[in-house]
Structure 1
Amino acid sequence: MPSPSTSTATARKMAHALASEPVKILLVDDQPGRLLTYRAILEPLGEQLVEASSGMEALKRLMDDEFALILLDVNMPGMDGFETASLIHQHPRFEKTPIIFVTAVNVTDMDRLRGYKLGAVDYVTVPVIPEVLRSKVEVLAELHRKRSELQSLNTSLAADNQALQREKARELEALNESLRVANDALAARNTELQVEISERSRAERLLRDADQRKNEFLATLAHELRNPLAPLQNALAIRRLELGEPPGPLQSTMERQLALLVRLIDDLLDIARITQNKLALRRESTSLEDVLHAAVEIARPLLDAGGHDFSLRLPDRPVALLADRMRLSQVFANLLNNAAKYSDPGGRIELAAELVDDDQVLVRISDTGIGLAPEQLEAVFGLFSQVDSTVERSRGGLGIGLTLVQKLAEMHGGRVAVHSAGLGQGCIFSVRLPVGAAAASAPPGLPAGTSGEASSEPDSKSPSNCADNGAMAEPPTDAAVPADPTRVLVVDDNRDAADTLAMMIRLLGHEVAQIYDPMAVEDEIERFAPDLLFLDVGMPGRSGYDIASSLRQREDGNALEIIAVTGWGQPEDRRRTREAGFDEHLVKPPQFESIRRICSRGGRTRKAETDDA
């Protein structure tokens, strides 16, 4: 098959040949003399002249051949030139064939307009001026040849274009075929990737589910551990009240170990809340001195138990902070406890604070303890991470204290670092925090009052008021008998918890009854007529929520003060008890001071009577 360029060259040669050939000119006139005149004038042009003596004959000639132009007499008998021109141009083949009208009479402007509408390109009057006619015909003939040449070239170009399109189509088809093969391979790979992505998503989902179950397990574990702790703590408080004198070493040891156990449970809950972004800060204006003194007070028992040489150095001037005082105290208390635990008895521990520039404070806790190897420095803040040796593990702990330190410091806009010269060389933990106005722009964690630990209850880490969150507060050795005892009903399916709480309240001088069946609450209220109800939330068969809601719907439902006593202490748990109608929420084991404070109020009925009086 010739290439498009070869076909184009051939077409040019053919077009050139057409340009040199004579064209056919149709001469139409009913007078032979004028036909002879036309021929004489036009023969020098070398064109092929064809004669017709009428309009009908002209039409017949046109059907048999192709003409470059028509020389048409206007005044012919039968069918004049206008009618003939009209019929010629009605045919699609001849609608663009140029016509020169020949007339022996003067034509009006209207006749000329009519002729032009019928396709005339010019008029020639008789007598014909040879040079004029010849020049007009010559121009039209040349125009026809050029048009024919252009049509020939166009036809050739169209053929070349079709050939090119076919060639491109073949190339495109070949390209499409290669693309189809590539797409098939890509589709197969995509399928493999989708399978891999699906498997990865499934694995991630399983990990998230496992992590969620772990957090739920930690919360449930803390709750379940709180239940047996409540009667133990109540029993120790009762024993202290019964002794009526400072406790002996055995009592103090049990109280310290119970407080340690409660703190471990609180740490478990804090980790669960942090990993679920449910721990919020209650920021307020405080000072670095108050925070550090509170931390030292928390860590003092462990420092004293180890006989450590402890020193505290504070900046020369007060340092203002915008922070959650209790949570920030927990940061430094954990670091001090860590230093005491990993230092041999009589070790040296120092807490030193200094201002860095005007917007940051640097607090260092250094010890002379077992130190850290270089590879342990990176992992020491990891969750459940411990120094992995028999000696170090014997020092105890869950491996979550430093994780809490790091997370709480970051929530305050700070950062924690650790340095150690090596094993046996001690450690230096440094905490850098924003102060003053800079602290206001620190990341707030979750806003208080959302899903975090936002509550009006005192915090579990408060050294000065460790109420109803499980940290062991030391009860006094004496309890003055109130002049007007409160009638208190204790409801808990855990008999030990109910009995020990009731015994503690009785020793405080109040009247108390206890029951273990949640179905019998209303009957006991009718019988005993209490002012105050301590009600366990999680009981089989009937929850404390249902009991509180039912009591509040009674006619005298608002006369009774109802206190929730539960192992669940997260914000949503407090919200649920509040919505169910509880007046206060105590987390097991409830603190002695909280019990005495609530009982001393005398319940709603007594309060109302006092107000009325």
Structure 2
Amino acid sequence: MASHEVNILLVDDKPERLLSYEVALESLGYNMVRAQSGTEALSKLMVMEFAAILLDVSMPDMDGFETAELIRNHPRFEETPIIFVTGLHITDLDQRKGYAMGAVDYVQIPVIPEILRGKVQALVQLYLQRVELTRLNQKLAQTNAELAKAHEELKARNMRELQELNQTLEQANAALTATNNRLTLEIGERERAEQALSQSMKRKDEYIAVLAHELRNPLSAIHNAVMVMQMPTSSEQQQAWAHELLQRQVKHLTCLMDDLLDVSRISNGRIQLHTEVVDLAQVVNHAADTIAPLLKKHRHQLKVVVPDRPLYVEGDTVRLSQVLGNLLTNAAKYMDDGGQIDLVLEQQGDKVAQIRVRDRGVGIPAELLNKVFDLFVQAPSALNRAQGGLGIGLALVRALVELHGGATRVTSDGPGLGAEFSVCLPLVDRVPQAQTAIPTPPRSSQPLRVLIIDDNSDSATGLSLCLQSQGYDLRVAHSGKEGLMAARLQRPDVVLLDIGLPDIDGYEVAQRLRREQELKEICIIAMTGYSGEADRNRAEQAGFNHYLVKPVELVKLLDLLDAQTCAA
């Protein structure tokens, strides 16, 4: 009973008397609820249950007798005991009237605390006993109902068990037969799963070996170039060769990293397409131009065939170019020097565009035709070739094409007889909207003020030297707080901001810059190793104007800075 909450309603229009009631009853540990009018008391009763009501007789608007009558007339409160409080002498008639209204007792003002506590405590004990009795009656009724229900269920269960016994015996043999069949199937599935796991582990081991090979080659070349640059006797021609090699190998490593990140994004469903209406002929011609240096290196001939009328698809130009670039790169790598590649764009039926890439190279064995688009799958000769690759290019092709609602296919007559890869994409009827040319503003004569904030001192110093050579006014900071201080002093036009800083990250730095009146309009360019779509979205929300992934291409950065120079 003690765990049940006990509420006492104190009704008096005088706040000082309400306080005296609370002080007198405080030691009982009950919850005291105030009301300063009969109307307020009725509203409290509608939302709470009270063990007793201490009710002032003399109140304006509605006196205690009227309030008690309204309480008693409500079926929910007719059992709630009321103690009238009065400072006047009451006659026997008044007492009878009060008892008729539901009063169980009277107390005189000034209230004697001991007497008030005794009366209230007695009423609370009665209230708790009544609550406990109600609970026990409910529990007894529930128990009786449960016993009756259990009795009926027992009878019904006995009948069902008798009926089900024969069915169980009949089903036992059938179940045993089905179990044997299922076990046979599970054993077969387990053997196939173990075989697939073994093949997958083997492919992963092979992939790790290829990855190590692909990383060691450019790292070895970079190491050699650095040694040449450090030689005091190296000539200008040797220095130029080393610089060119470093640029080429860093670009190669960047491509490897981009491919690995794309595979991760596609596997986790996090890659997003930036689609528009695209003329496939432009994509085909762009891919042909991009692959030209590799074709020239291997003395390959590329025959491009496109239709006279444009074929439009809804697609991401960059990703579609990546698809064709991967197919053309594969064709060039897996064919002896001096070969020919056919790149054909054509329409299939009314609603499909098809792009075919045909080579005369090493071909594909029949057992690999259904697997060439899987991750880490390569032709057996790939490991022995100078540029074997990671075995993820075709997996990216299939995934990107499927994101465009298309399909891929490969055919080959066998080893040494070349291969043909086909990409099919759904056509659209819409024509791309013409873009309005934007006039170029005059170039400012003042050098652009650039602030680099990067905790990697080597990276920051190298980039600073490159930009200083281009005529930009450079400052460098190596932490977020140092960068904010430098920005306030220098008032730069552009901030090149790393996100992974040691104290406060680049997102917070950008947000703080945007909150300062003198700095909120500056151009903020992210330079970071984080390349996920979520990272880009977070950077945009933080206030970045542009987002570049490390290693940053200097040409792309200079284009952004040049645009800021023209706008200055």
TM-score scaled by length of structure 1: 0.52
Distance in 1, matches of 2:252 and 2:301, equals: 22
Q: Given the alignment, which residue of 293, 303, 319 partners 2:295?
A: 303
What is residue 547 of structure 1 aligned with on the other side?
Answer: 509
Percentage of identical aligned residues: 37
The alpha-carbon deviation at position 178 of structure 1 amounts to: 6.9
How far off its partner does 1:172 sit? 7.3
Q: Provide the residue aligned with 2:526 in structure 1.
A: 564
In structure 2, distance between residues paired with 1:171 and 1:261 = 73
| Residue in structure 1 matched with residue 540 of structure 2 by the alignment | 578
CA offsets 1:105-160 (integer angstroms, 9 cap, x no match): xxxxxxxxxxxxxxxxxxxxxxxxxxxxxxxxxxxxxxxxxxxxxxxxxxxxxxxx
Which of 450, 462, 465 in structure 2 is aligned with 1:503?
Answer: 465
Q: Is the CA contact 1:361–1:435 (under 8 Å) kept in the aligned structure 2?
A: yes
Aligned to 1:281: 273
Instruction: Describe the SS at the equivalent of 2:363.
Output: coil
Could you say which residue in structure 2 is the equivalent of 1:401? Answer: 393
Residue 323 of structure 2 corresponds to residue 334 of structure 1? no
String of CA shifts for 1:560-611, please: whole Å, max 9, x gaps: 33221111122211221122222222221223233223333558xx96xx7x
- Identify unmatched segments of 5+ residues in structure 2: 1-157, 198-203, 230-234, 433-442
Are the counterparts in 2 of residues 413 and 434 from structure 1 also a CA contact under 8 Å?
yes
Q: Do 1:533 and 1:563's aligned partners in 2 also have CA atoms closer than 8 Å?
A: yes
Q: Report what 2:496 is aligned to.
A: 534
Q: Which residue number corresponds to residue 259 of structure 2? A: 267
- 2:118 aligns to what? none
Q: Aligned residue for 1:135? A: none
Deviation at 1:251, TM superposition (A): 4.1
Distance 2:415 2:384 in 1: 11
User: Which one of the candidate residues 471, 476, 484 is aligned to 2:446?
Assistant: 484
Deviation at 1:248? 5.4
Inter-CA distance 422–553: structure 2 relative to 1 (3 Å threshold)? same
Q: Matches of 1:351 and 1:282 in 2, distance apart? A: 25
Bigger radius of gyration, 1 or 2? 1
Distance 1:426 1:307 in 2: 17
> Counterpart of 2:165?
176
Q: Following TM superposition, by how much is the alpha carbon of 1:509 offset from its aligned partner in structure 2, in angstroms?
A: 0.7
3-state SS of paired residue (1:437): coil
Structure with greater contact order relative to length (CA < 8 Å, sep ≥ 6): 1
Query: Is this contact kept in 2: 1:360–1:435, CA < 8 A?
Result: yes
Aligned pairs (5 A) from 1:375-394: 375-389=367-381, 391-392=383-384, 394=386
The residue type paired with residue 374 of structure 1 is A
- Residue 146 of structure 1 corresponds to none
Change (3 A) 1:572 1:177: same
The 3 A distance-change label for structure 1 pair 175 and 367 is closer
Distance 1:511 1:413 in 2: 48
What CA RMSD, in Å, does the superposition of the two structures yield over aligned residues? 4.4
**TM, length-normalised to structure 2:** 0.55
Give, in whole Å, the separation in 2 of the partners of 1:391 and 1:571.
Answer: 33
Give SS of 2:534's match: helix
The aligned counterpart of 1:521 is 483
CA–CA separation in structure 1 for the residues paired with 2:248 and 2:517: 46
Identify the range of structure 1 (355-364 vs 422-431) with the bigger mean alpha-carbon deviation.
Answer: 355-364
8 Å CA contact 2:277, 2:430 repeated in 1: no
Determine if contact 2:496/2:524 at 8 Å carries over to the other structure. yes
2:403 aligned partner, one-letter code: M
Matched, 1:312 2:274: no
Q: Which residue of 2 aligns with 1:346?
A: 338
Shift of 1:347: 1.7
* Residue correspondence of structure 1 range 189-268 to structure 2 within 5 A: 250-268=242-260
Whether the aligned pair in 2 keeps the contact of 1:413 and 1:439 (CA below 8 Å) is no
Q: How many residues align?
A: 363
Matched, 1:597 2:545: no
Distance 2:160 2:351 in 1: 72
Following TM superposition, by how much is the alpha carbon of 1:490 offset from its aligned partner in structure 2, in angstroms?
Answer: 0.5
Q: Give the superposition deviation at 1:252.
A: 3.9
Is the contact between residue 283 and residue 321 of structure 2 (CA under 8 Å) also seen in structure 1? Answer: yes
Q: By how many angstroms is 1:559 displaced? A: 4.1
1:412 to 404, 417, 423: 404
Aligned position for 1:464: none
Aligned-pair distance for 1:430?
A: 1.7
Amino acid at match of 2:408: V
Residues 553-562 or 571-580, more deviating? 553-562
